[in-house]
Amino acid sequence: MEQKKEPLLEIRDLSVSFRMYSRGLKQTDLRVISDLDFTARSGEITAIAGASGSGKSLLSSAVLGILPDNASVCGRIYYKGRELTPDLQKKLRGTEIALVPQSVAYLDPLMKTGEQADGHRKPRPTEKREKLFRRLGLPEQTEYLYPFQLSGGMARRILVSSALLTDAQLIIADEPTPGMSLEQALEALKLFREMADSGSAVVLITHDIDLAFEFADRISVFYAGTTVETAPASDFRKGPDALRHPYSRALWRALPQNGFQPLDGFQPYAGALPEGCLFAPRCPHRTEKCTVQVPPSREVRGGEVRCYYGA
Amino acid sequence: MKGILPRLGRIFLKNSFKILSLLLAVSILSFVLVNASPVDPVQQYITGLGTAVSPEQREQIEDYWGADDPPAKRYVSWLSGLLRGDLGESAVYRRPVADIIGERFLNSFVLMLCAWAMSGILGFISGCAMGMYRGRRPDRFLKKICYVLSSIPSFWLGLVFLLVFAVWLGWFPVGFSAPVGVLSADVTLWQKVHHLILPAFTLSLVSFPNIALHTRQKLGDVLDSEYVLFARARGEGEWSVLFRHGLRNIVLPALTLQFASFSELFGGSVLAENVFSYPGLGSAAAEAGLNSDVPLLLGITLFSALFVCAGNMIANLLYGIIDPRIREVNK
């Protein structure tokens, strides 16, 4: 039995809803994350895979405490065993927890990229940044460019370096690789690997499942705002028989190299979530029990699965 | 920044050409309007002489001025005078129009500059405060003030200020740019400033709400942006966000607005100067209009068009210097 590494971030039964005005002054709560469990361990890369709208990016906002004002959060988040309160989040943002956001829109359009990568903290890590930029294949003088002069891949590499320049122990990277060439993406992931090997926990939110299989230690599969399965990456490399949840298996089979078989139906929208298991309407193995009550999270063969029948 | 001067020169030339053609259009339009109005310049000139004139003399004056020539011919002769720097002679003041405009503009310029700087600075700061406290008490309070100010006509506000600060409290003089009965050489700087404060403050309130509300909106947009979300995710506090990202991104639109407000400023100065009997260009414009002083009126019209255009051109040039997106692309 492999020794379990210490959990750095532990999320239990997290739900996030947005208060909205539906018609006139009538308020409704739109639940976008429900009963989500997630763990990130020091020294590991944990990938989060799932379709668009499955709540991947919102999870990072919830951990950092930067959700919009109309969001309400319930559930528990622990960081190093301590409950992650708004005050603690404020203290840890940018120092112990770093975010790699998704797109060039997260860069200030009127600030030079070098200054942005350095961030607002003093002293500026200029030398370290120059080395990092070169390693990521960013040409000289990139630090003097403005975001509108960058390609998508360059912008992403700058966002990646902004997180790598901190001494963060938890790095949440939200789709860091699209737009990069394969070598650049590999280099970026290698850097994340090095961060993890030096003791940080890296959370890799990604659509690029192949790369996640390759670089991650564990993979969490998201569906409609909840985690359906968390398993070692090796299980995903082995194939569907090693997996525990019908959705993870369907995801595996939908990959081009594994048969390219799509699953019928679509992910339910927030606001129209089914009772019980969120995957039940599309599940080939569902029983009456699944449509009534949400299955609890269970440990199965070194992974976690939220299914009555996962084995 | 290599090549910034030639580039600015190019923009300047392009804009100058635009301004010249606009001035030509303004001159034609105002000439046509005056021509179509019932104002009789000859009669106004004679009234201005203050002596009785026989019908024969009147005929001579009309002949001398070419009052019976077709309008196009009169326009061309006026324009050729204009190009030689001769704007004609004011019927009311009996002095060259150019001299009057120069002298009055100097007074107005000081007044407008003070009002302009005051409204710009106060408007920008209030706008930032509103943006930072969006939806909360300081924002609601300042927003109400802005709405009230922008719905009050400036001349009425001027009258109220006069009543309160000059008549009741006696803090400021009731009018003019210097004390009555003092030789202009003896007027001290403090006396000038003392006379300037109330009209300048009134005038500044004309564009203050506009600038404050625009700045508020812009700052709100910036604070809702993804790059500010990212800045917060990196641990930047409210003030760091304002100074690192907010100001950088709102100062450009604010500057443009500030220079584009020249037109409001000029319009407002006509009213403010009249209320405070301030001897500036605005009150000269009003006098010229009321006394049918055609040469002066046309001169001021052209001058104000030039003034507003200059403001817009400065805004254009500044954008090219400050905004890296325009600067780098134009390289």
3-class secondary structure per residue, chain B: CCCHHHHHHHHHHHHHHHHHHHHHHHHHHHHHHHHHCCCCHHHHHHHHHCCCCCHHHHHHHHHHHCCCCCHHHHHHHHHHHHHCCCCCECCCCCCEHHHHHHHHHHHHHHHHHHHHHHHHHHHHHHHHHHHHCCCCHHHHHHHHHHHHHHHCCHHHHHHHHHHHHHHHCCCCCCCCCCCCCCCHHHCCHHHHHHHHHHHHHHHHHHHHHHHHHHHHHHHHHHHCCHHHHHHHHCCCCHHHHHHHHHHHHHHHHHHHHHHHCHHHHHHHHHHHHHHCCCCCHHHHHHHHHHCCCHHHHHHHHHHHHHHHHHHHHHHHHHHHHHCHHHHHHHC
From residue B210, give the alpha-carbon distance in Å to each of A215, A296, B125, B146, B259. Answer: 55, 57, 13, 8, 13
Q: What is the pLDDT along chain B (331 residues), one digit of tens a residue?
A: 456 777 778 878 888 888 899 999 999 999 898 888 887 777 777 777 777 778 888 888 888 777 778 888 888 888 888 888 888 888 778 888 889 899 899 889 989 999 999 999 999 999 999 999 999 999 999 999 999 999 998 889 989 999 999 889 988 888 777 777 777 777 788 888 888 889 999 999 988 999 999 999 999 999 999 999 999 999 999 999 999 999 999 988 888 889 888 888 888 888 888 888 888 898 888 888 888 888 888 899 999 999 988 888 888 888 777 888 877 665 5
Dihedral over Cα of B266, B268, B271, B277: its sign: negative
Distance CA A191, CA A187 (A): 6
| Residue A54 within any structural domain of the chain | yes
pLDDT of A133 higher than 50:
yes
pLDDT of A4 higher than 60:
no
| Local structure of residue A93 (DSSP, 8 states) | B
Q: What is the predicted pLDDT for the residue at A228?
A: 93
Q: Binning pLDDT at 50, 70 and 90, where does residue A16 land? A: very high
| Residue A276 within any structural domain of the chain | yes
| Those residues with Cβ within 8 angstroms of residue B169's Cβ, 6 or more apart along the chain or in another chain | none
Distance CA B187, CA B179 (A): 8
Q: Contact, B179 vs B134, CB < 8 A?
A: no
Interface check for B189 against chain A (CB to CB < 8 A): the answer is no
Q: Which domains does chain B have, with CATH numbers?
A: 4-83 (no CATH), 97-330 (1.10.3720.10)
pTM: 0.84
Residues of A with CB under 8 A from a CB of B: 61, 64, 66, 90, 92-95, 98-99, 101, 103, 105-111, 119-121, 146, 148-149, 162
DSSP β-bridge partners for residue A15: A74
pLDDT of A284 higher than 80:
yes
Q: Phi/psi of residue A159, each to 5°?
A: -65, -40
Q: Tell me the nearest-neighbour CA distance from B3 into chain A, angstroms.
A: 18
Q: What is the predicted pLDDT for the residue at A1?
A: 37
- Paired tokens of B251: 């100062």
Q: Tell me the nearest-neighbour CA distance from B1 into chain A, angstroms.
A: 13
Give the range of the structural domain holding residue A80, as residue numbers without chain letter. Answer: 7-96+167-305
Token match 């508020």: residue? B216
Phi-psi region of B138 (alpha: psi -120 to 50; beta: other; left: phi over 0): alpha
| Residue A278 within any structural domain of the chain | yes
Interface check for B245 against chain A (CB to CB < 8 A): the answer is yes
Q: Contact, B67 vs B42, CB < 8 A?
A: yes
Element containing residue A8 per DSSP (H, E): strand A7-21
Q: Phi/psi of residue A228, each to 5°?
A: -95, -30
Distance CA A77, CA A178 (A): 29
Letter for the amino acid at A236? F
Q: CB distance B245–A108 less than 8 Å? A: yes
Distance CA A268, CA A84 (A): 30
User: Which member of A61, A103, A119 has the closest CB to residue B234?
Assistant: A119
- Paired tokens of B114: 């003070």
CATH number of the domain residue A88 falls in:
3.40.50.300
| Residue A196 within any structural domain of the chain | yes
Q: CB distance A94–B233 less than 8 Å? A: yes
Residues of B in contact with A110 (CB under 8 A): 248-249, 323-325
Element containing residue A201 per DSSP (H, E): strand A201-206
Q: Tell which residue, B277, B226, B153, B120, has the closest CA to residue A103.
A: B226
Dihedral over Cα of A248, A238, A234, A302: its sign: positive
Q: What is the predicted pLDDT for the residue at A50?
A: 86
Q: What is the predicted pLDDT for the residue at A5?
A: 63
- Paired tokens of B70: 């077709």
Q: Tell which residue, A227, A239, A179, has the closest CA to residue A34.
A: A227
| Residue A145 within any structural domain of the chain | no
Distance CA B67, CA B39 (A): 13
Q: What is the predicted pLDDT for the residue at A44?
A: 93
Least confident of A46-50, A82-86, B144-148, B173-177: B173-177
Q: What is the predicted pLDDT for the residue at B114?
A: 93
Interface check for B221 against chain A (CB to CB < 8 A): the answer is no
Distance CA B13, CA B8 (A): 9
Q: What is the predicted pLDDT for the residue at A3?
A: 47
| Local structure of residue A162 (DSSP, 8 states) | H
Distance CA A247, CA A227 (A): 11
| Residue A131 within any structural domain of the chain | no
Distance between terminal CA atoms of chain B? 9
| Residue A283 within any structural domain of the chain | yes
ipTM > 0.85 for the complex:
yes
**How many independent structural domains does chain A possess?**
1
Q: What is the predicted pLDDT for the residue at B329?
A: 64
Q: What is the predicted pLDDT for the residue at A122?
A: 82
Q: Phi/psi of residue A31, each to 5°?
A: -90, 120
- Paired tokens of A193: 């690997």
pLDDT of A19 higher than 70:
yes
Pairing assessment for the beta strands A226-232 and A303-305 based on DSSP bridges: antiparallel
Q: Phi/psi of residue A150, each to 5°?
A: -100, 150
Mutate to test the interface with B, among A67, A111, A162, A171 (most CBs of B within 10 A): A111
| Those residues with Cβ within 8 angstroms of residue A48's Cβ, 6 or more apart along the chain or in another chain | A38, A56, A59, A203, A204, A205, A206, A219, A220, A222
Distance CA A19, CA A27 (A): 7
| Residue A118 within any structural domain of the chain | no
Q: Tell me the nearest-neighbour CA distance from A36 into chain B, angstroms.
A: 22
Number of residues assigned to chain B: 331
Q: CB distance A66–B229 less than 8 Å? A: yes
Q: What is the predicted pLDDT for the residue at A52?
A: 83
Q: Contact, B202 vs B158, CB < 8 A?
A: yes
Q: Binning pLDDT at 50, 70 and 90, where does residue A18 land? A: very high
Closest alpha carbon within chain B to A91: B235
Closest alpha carbon within chain A to B246: A108
Q: What is the predicted pLDDT for the residue at A167?
A: 86
User: For A7-17, what is the mean pLDDT?
Assistant: 93
Look at residue A97 and give its three-state secondary structure: strand
